[in-house]
Amino acid sequence: MRRFVALAALAVALVCALVPSVSFTEDRDTVQLAKVIYALARDESYATKLAIGTVVMNRVESDWFDDTLGEVLDEQQQFPAGSRYDGESLSAAHDVLSGARTLDAGALYYQALDASQPWGEEGRVATVGGYAFYSTDGNL
């Protein structure tokens, strides 16, 4: 019986170490934002993760987009609906939801620098990591 309890405790500890923890502050919106950040910037710097999160929150706060985080993230073909996240993406989501912003409020769009049809310089407000951030949609 002691071996079973010890093995069960070891298994629980291993799962806790490998899976990002979920606490009372990690509500659905926080986790959903962390998944988007991870899907777009998993191999990027923390600054890039914050910039992606800033674009999302700029849209939430803009009169031109939906009013809630869930609605902005669920908008078709705007942000990937990731299924995973890590601790750094979760931390970036917490920071952004707590008010941290790394880009101007006008930064509402993003594009990977290696995109097959780059938007160019018009409306570009910043370049962070592998992304360019824009105040206007380069597809318009």
Among 71, 72, 119, 69, CA closest to 94: 69
Lay out the sheet containing 131-134: strands in order across. Answer: 109-112, 131-134, 124-128
Q: What is the C-alpha separation between 112 and 47, in angstroms, rounded? A: 15
Q: Are 85 and 53 in contact (CB under 8 A)?
A: no
pTM here is 0.79
Q: What is the C-alpha separation between 112 and 42, in angstroms, rounded? A: 13
Tens-digit pLDDT string for the chain (140 aa)? 666 555 655 665 555 555 554 444 579 999 999 999 999 999 999 999 999 999 999 999 999 999 999 999 999 889 998 999 999 999 999 999 999 999 999 999 999 999 999 998 999 999 999 999 999 877 65
